[in-house]
Structure 1
Amino acid sequence: MENSTKPLTTEKVSLKTKISWGAGGLADNYIMNMLTPHILIMPLYNIKFGMNPALIGIALAIPRVIDAITDPVMGNISDNTRTRWGRRVPYIFMGAILSAMILPLLWTPPIKTDWFMFGYLATLASLYSIAYTIFSVPYTALGYELTTDYNERTKVLAWRMYIGLFGSLTIPWLLRISMLDIFGGNIMTGALCVCSLISVIIIVSGIAPAVFCKEKTFTLKQEKISLLKASKYTLKNRAFMTIMFALMIILCAMFTCPMLSFYINAYHIFNDMKEAATMLGLGGVVMTACSYISMWLITFVSTHKGKRFAMNLGLGLVIFGVASLYYTLNPKWPYLQLVSSAIAGLGMQGCWLMLSSMTADVCDDDEMRTGLRREGLYGAVYGFVMKLSLAISAFTSGWILNVSGFDIKIAEATNTVPIGIITHMKLLLIGIQCLGLSIAMILILFYPLTKKRCEEIRAILDKTHPNEDVK
């Protein structure tokens, strides 16, 4: 248990502000996950259009790299912006609208050759990712700024996930919905129509934080700082770099392999793509339901035992759930795999919450050291690491499929995959995730900002600017 002193501040955030900021989590969830390979891109571009999965991986890695590079730039721009509306609001508004405009175009390549589709996907996905950066970096920074209280900060950030998880209920079903008969059996038409509706949701939920949330006034008075100098301070922060290395390993482990389970279901468990798509949706529902429990559980544990302990508890649950897939991915009991999804869901969402809350604590530590509030840059570096990790995952996911021995042409012709290749796919799916999550658990043990230390830092900062009013 982390040592604690009596809380020095009880800064509460109104329910209206929590809901308004949290609404942006729905837009964030949709925008970010639409480029996840196994949701629509691999089924559409690989299975439907026959594009080489390695090329798909490269096409998805390019925008993630571009996006990762632009994140710190966007963070510094936002931190140094001074307008009548604040540092964050204008960009949140702009980014949500641009992302919504580009999304439906991702699914309509006019020419179905490998290299044309490669250029089309890479270009559109890059523009989409830049628009996401414009939205997500200031949005995340705004959330870090809403309160300075150790426990209240976790509760505020949880609202991003409470509301964002409604998107998680539907995202795994997008492939199955796109295959409905009302679209004439044309998955491309289905994807276009479905994503057009999602674009409307992105605009409505994405601009809510810009319209209803207000920024703290004292940050508008601080000096501007160059990107180079700001980055130097950031990279020297031990607590932050510990979180970032853990985040990178978790994301690379969790997002490199998920499509393997879809292919195992499509060509082994069910031998049917529609049934596999249905299982993808059911798994998403189960994980989302358990994610709400996860946030309550991990928040409760973090309040009593500290964030470091809570984070590793969540990771331990995920490892157990993933490892159990060795037994639950079984054609004799095709729905048993939902048990694994439930166990992993109990831990994973709480881990994302802890990483965000720990990053917000780092911002206080940084202000004590530098005298500057730089939530924008910290949120940007968080985004940089996240998107760099997703770039690595996107690049390797296509190669992992090839390394496993899977061949789409043979699978489509025979409607099955040899059991040896299935076993290889299963071992890759489980082994990569469990190894990465175990390494992340070790890293989190070295995170230095305990509850007691955070309260000591807060006491020092409260003497510096005791009247932090919200504009």
Structure 2
Amino acid sequence: MGVPNQRKGTPPVRHPPCATLSRWRGPPHAVAGVCQTCPVTQNTAARRAAGEITVRERLTFAAGDVFAGGASSLIAVMYLIFLTDVIRLAPGLAGTAVLVAKLWDAVNDPLMGAISDRVRTRMGRRRPFILGGAVLLIPIMALLWLPFPVLDSQLGKMAWAMLSYIGYNTVQTVMAVPYASMSTEITTDYDERNKVNTTRLLFSTVASATVTLLGAWLFDQYRSGEIGLWPMYLAIVLGFGTVFMLVMLGVALFTRERAPIPPRAQRFEVRTFVAPLRTSSFRKLLGMYLSQALAFDIISATVLYYALYVVVGANSQVFLGIFIGVNVIAYPIVTWLVGRVSKHRVYMRLIPLALVGAAAVAVFPGDGPVPLVYVFAFMLAAGMAGAQLMCWVMFPDVLDDAELATGQRNAGSYSGLMTFTRGIASAIVIQALGLVLQFSGYVAPVTNEVPLQPDSAVLGIRLFMWIGITALLVLGWTIARRYPLTRTVALSNQAELDRRRGKVVSGEELA
């Protein structure tokens, strides 16, 4: 059957592929986004409508985790010791500045999620915010890492650190919450979504590796006098900042959202902030996410202190390199397992090994053989690898579960609550470490030389690592045992959502 109104003897009209019909302005025989006479078959068009994306777009989107993973690693590894040993801010005040700044996230993260859920633009719901945040990133990083305090007093330094960190948190949230939400919306196909999120893991792992090692190396170079403050400052702001900005610009300009959204946004209400907590699977995922993330925050925040003051001759870059190397090795294994077993089992399987490693690292003798402490660090890293790599891969399954229960897919509210609770809890960890250092008699360096620490400070660092990591990993393992979304359940939820969406499309076609 020919195209309507086509003259006899003329070559057939070749329409654009169905994937580009949003820009097609031809005859009105393209129904419900599928051209009835296009050379692309209906079956292919249906697959594309369901969420099939190109490899280039998948890689471009996943590269956004260079910022998500790299920026958080930079803060976790360097910021507290930057405040205490470079700015010369008292540890207790440094921790307080970080905590107060993070309290802004009590409003900022959930609010950003709710706002992006309700926005309707030609670029979609998420990408306008990612674009705006990318433009502001380098200026706010320049203020955050300014190496000379604007005010000389301890309270003045604390106020500057707090205000600059509030600004940085705001810009980060404007990008991070919509980006996390897009991970559930860039495709609606279960297998494609797993590919997207496991590819994100690869970029996040490599970025965390690079940023962590380079950050620790920069600080060691500064401490040894090899580089000055300004070269370190410029490397952080213009080096890391430019890379972070470019990957987020790529997400904003070269990817798109595919999950169906209601044409009218819901009315904004305060209870929207806590609405995700009504979903049981989300509460459990949130607990698992916070447990592993905070355990690693403790490792990241203490490793420079541990290598400098606890085990003589230990190298912080080797410690961090072990964790990163293990995650890189674990990535293909985890990617293979995701398609075959329930994700919560990958999360919890090796946590007992991590508990043994954490205890061994914490009590390791200060003058013991350094290679042996690296072996124990490897045990800790291997035991945590599954937990570290799994949570954001599990997140889209929870969104499916929530959509089945509520009829809504407000990914921004869910991801906003996750980043908010992570931010607050991470700040509490840093504040707790600052207080431990303050009250255990930690001696801040006056010059670049490493001061001798009292036994009480060394003991405080050891106990903080051991108790904190152990308690958090045990909590995560316990919650994971009760996680309800097995692979069978997740696939069943996806099939039911596809069936419901199919009914909606059919109704529109009949109309």
TM range, smaller chain:
0.7 to 0.9
Distance 1:414 1:184 in 2: 12
Residue 317 of structure 1, CA deviation: 4.1
Contact 2:433/2:464 (8 A) holds in 1:
no
What is the percent sequence identity of the aligned residues? 22
Contact 2:68–2:204 (Cα < 8 Å) also in 1? yes
Instruction: Say whether residues 1:265 and 2:345 are aligned partners.
Output: no
Whether 1:44 aligns to 2:82 is yes
Q: How many residue pairs align between the two structures?
A: 453
For structure 2, the residue ranges without an aligned partner over 5 or more in a row are 1-46, 506-511
Could you tell me which residue of structure 2 aligns to residue 138 of structure 1? 178
Larger Rg computed on CA atoms: 2
The one-letter code matched in structure 1 to 2:60 is S
Corresponding residue for 1:147? 187
Q: RMSD in angstroms over aligned alpha carbons?
A: 3.0
Q: Give runs of aligned pairs for residues 437-448 of structure 1, distance below 5 A.
A: 437-448=473-484
- The answer to whether the 8 A contact 1:32-1:132 is kept is no
Pairing 1:122–2:162 present: yes
Partners of 1:100 and 1:199 within 8 A in 2: yes
- What amino acid sits opposite 1:131 in the alignment? V
Q: 1:165 to 1:41 in 2, by over 3 A?
A: same
C-alpha contact 1:68 1:388 (8 A) present in aligned 2: yes
Q: Deviations over 1:166-201 (max 9, x none)?
A: 322332332432554899756431331111211111
- Per the alignment, residue 403 of structure 2 pairs with 367
Displacement, 1:216? 1.3
Quick check: 1:249–1:436 contact (8 Å CA) kept in 2? yes
In the alignment, which residue of structure 1 is the partner of 2:233?
192
CA contact (8 A) 1:31 1:99 kept: no
SS at 1:216's partner residue?
coil
Q: Is the 8 A contact 2:222 2:228 kept in 1?
A: no
Displacement of 1:334 in angstroms is 2.3
**In structure 2, C-alpha distance between the alignment counterparts of 1:418 and 1:35, rounded to whole Å:** 27
Q: Which moved more, 1:112-121 or 1:172-181?
A: 172-181
1:332 maps onto 2:368 in alignment: yes
User: Is 2:488 the counterpart of 1:452?
Assistant: yes
Distance in 1, matches of 2:326 and 2:398, equals 28
Q: Is the 8 A contact 1:251 1:389 kept in 2?
A: no
Distance 1:11 1:416, change over 3 A: same
Equivalent position of 1:61 in the other structure: 99
> Mean alpha-carbon deviation: is it higher for 365-374 or for 222-231?
222-231
- Residues of 2 paired with 1:229 and 1:47: CA distance? 42
Q: Provide the rounded CA distance (Å) in 2 between the counterparts of 1:100 and 1:393.
A: 26
Question: Partner of 2:197 in structure 1?
Answer: 157
1-structure distance, mates of 2:412, 2:126: 8
Give the counterpart letter for 1:346 in structure 2. A
Tell me what 2:384 maps to: 348
C-alpha contact 1:268 1:416 (8 A) present in aligned 2? no
- Aligned equivalent of 2:345: 309
Selected match of 1:105 from 127, 143, 150: 143
Residues 1:308 and 1:329: Cα distance change in structure 2 (over 3 Å): farther
Q: Which whole-Å deviations, capped at 9, do the CAs of 1:54-82 have from their partners, x for residues lacking one?
A: 10001111221212421111111111111
Q: Deviation of residue 220 (structure 1)?
A: 5.4
Mapped partners of 1:111, 1:410: distance in 2: 18
Which of 200, 211, 215 matches 2:253?
211
SS at match of 1:336: helix
Structure 2 letter corresponding to 1:95: G
More helix by share: 1
Q: Deviations over 1:239-267 (max 9, x none)?
A: 10112123333334432464434223213
Per-residue deviation, 1:310: 0.8
Write the letter of the residue equivalent to 1:294: A
Aligned to 1:75: 113
Is 1:320 equivalent to 2:361 in the alignment?
Answer: no
Partner SS state of residue 147, structure 1: coil
1:387 equivalent among 423, 426, 441: 423
CA contact (8 A) 2:362 2:465 kept: no
Letter in 1 for 2:282: F
Q: Which amino acid aligns with 2:63?
A: A
What's the CA shift string for 1:98-123, capped at 9, x where partnerless? 12221122232233331111011100
Mark the CA change 1:190 to 1:344 in structure 2 (over 3 Å): closer, same or farther: farther
Q: Deviations over 1:301-324 (max 9, x none)?
A: 343331111110253443333233
Equivalent residue, structure 2, for 1:5: none
The Cα shift of 1:152 comes to 4.0
Determine if contact 1:411/1:417 at 8 Å carries over to the other structure.
Answer: no
- Offset of residue 328 of structure 1: 5.1
Decide whether the 8 Å contact of 2:60 with 2:250 is kept in 1: yes
Give yes or no for the alignment of 1:202 onto 2:238. no
What secondary structure does 2:119 align onto? coil
Tell me the residue number matched to 1:241.
Answer: 283
Instruction: Give the Cα–Cα distance (whole angstroms) in 2 for the partners of residues 427 and 217 of structure 1.
Output: 47
Residues 26-83 of structure 1, C-alpha deviations (whole Å, 9 max, x = no match): 12223323332xx333333212343210100011112212124211111111111111
1:176 matched to 2:217? The reply is yes
1:269-320 per-position Cα deviation (integer Å, ceiling 9, x unaligned)? 33xxxx76xx222222222121122222233334333111111025344333
State the match for 1:34 in structure 2. 74
Q: Is the 8 A contact 1:310 1:354 kept in 2?
A: yes
Structure 1, unpaired ranges of 5+: 1-8
Given the superposition, is the C-alpha separation of residues 153 and 200 from structure 1 closer, same or farther in structure 2, using an over 3 Å criterion? same
